Amino acid sequence: MSKNTTEVPEKLRIKLAKYLNELKEKRQLGFNQLSIKSEVNPGVLTKILSGSNKRVNPYQLKKLAYALRVDYKELYKIVGYLEEEDYKNEEKIKSNLGPIEMEEMINVPVYDSVSAGCQAGLEAEPTPVEYVPLPKRMAEGCVIINVHGDSMEPTLKDGSSILVKLNEEVNHNEIGVFIYDDEPLVKRYKCFDGKRFLYSDNPDYPPREVREEDSFSLCGKVLWIMAKQ
C-alpha cells in the first residue's frame, strides 16, 4: 500500500463517497455522529463524502472504517491503496479474527438553552430537545448544546452544536461553557499574570475578566464542534 496521499482519480473518489454514504445510512449515523465517532474533521468529512477530497488520507480512512464497522482494507481497495492480490492474501488471514464487535452506544441529551452570545439565561432543569446516540467511550458524562449567536465565529457558527464534557476542567486557551453573572456563555478561557478572562473568537466582542467578586462557575469543557448541517 502506498503510504502517501497522492491524488486519487475522481472516479475512485466518487466510488468511495458512494460506498461510505451507503454505510452511513445502513448504520443509521448522521453526519455529526460519524464525524465524532471517527474523529474526522467535519470539513474534511464533507469533502470525502462528496468525493471532492483529491488526496485521501489512509489514516482517516482507517478511522472511518472503524466508525462504520467495516474492514479498512475495503476502503483502501476502492481508492487503490491496496492491490487486488494483496487484498485476497489479507482475506485469508482475516478469517481468524472473527466478527467486528458492536461498540457500546449511549443516548446523549441535546439542549438548546446555552448560547455563544449574550442571550437568555439557562433554565434550572432544562428539558432535552432530543437524544443522539454516540459511542460511550467518548460521550459518557457529556451533553450536546446547540449554539446561537456569532461571538465565537469563525470557530463556532450560529446553529452549530458542541459536545460538552460536564464538570471537566478547562485549561488555558480551551473552549468551555460557563455561567458568568447568571449568563450562560460559550467562551475561550485564558489566563494571564494570574488573571482569568473569557474570550470570544469574534474580535467584535471584547474579553471579559473574571474577578474574585464575580459570580462565576464552570459547566464543562467543549470536546468537539459539530458542524451545522
Say if residue 120 is in the same domain as residue 186: yes
99, part of any domain: no
Say if residue 22 is in the same domain as residue 122: no
Say if residue 153 is in the same domain as residue 212: yes
pTM listed for this prediction: 0.63
Say if residue 64 is in the same domain as residue 166: no
Domain that holds residue 213: 105-226
Q: For the domain that residue 20 is a member of, what is the CATH number?
A: 1.10.260.40
Say if residue 162 is in the same domain as residue 55: no
183, part of any domain: yes
The CA distance from 170 to 9, in Å, is: 43
Q: Please identify, among 64, 94, 124, the residue that sits at the C-terminal boundary of a domain.
A: 94
pLDDT at 149: 87
Question: Strand 208-210's sheet: what is its strand order?
Answer: 130-135, 105-111, 142-146, 161-166, 216-226, 174-180, 183-192, 195-199, 208-210
pLDDT at 156: 87
Say if residue 111 is in the same domain as residue 219: yes
- Which amino acid, 155? T
The CA distance from 179 to 23, in Å, is: 40
The CA distance from 156 to 121, in Å, is: 19
pLDDT at 126: 66
Beta bridge partners of 210: 196
Say if residue 43 is in the same domain as residue 144: no
Say if residue 142 is in the same domain as residue 189: yes
Say if residue 133 is in the same domain as residue 186: yes
Say if residue 57 is in the same domain as residue 80: yes
Q: For the domain that residue 166 is a member of, what is the CATH number?
A: 2.10.109.10
Q: Using a CB cutoff of 8 Å and minimum separation of 24, what contacts does 64-68 make?
A: 64/20, 64/34, 64/38, 64/40, 66/38, 67/29, 67/34, 67/37, 67/38, 68/20, 68/23, 68/24, 68/27, 68/29, 68/34, 68/38
Q: Which of helix, strand or coil describes residue 90?
A: helix
Cβ partners under 8 Å of residue 78, min gap 6: 12, 15, 16, 19
109 neighbors 125 (Cβ within 8 angstroms): no
The Cβ of residue 83 has, within 10 Å, a number of other Cβ atoms equal to 12
The 10s digit of each residue's pLDDT in 179-206 is 898 888 899 999 998 899 999 999 999 9
Total domain count, the chain: 2
What are φ and ψ of residue 72, in 5° steps? -60, -25
pLDDT at 5: 47
Q: With a cut of 70, which residues of the chain have pLDDT below it?
A: 1-6, 82-103, 113-126, 227-229
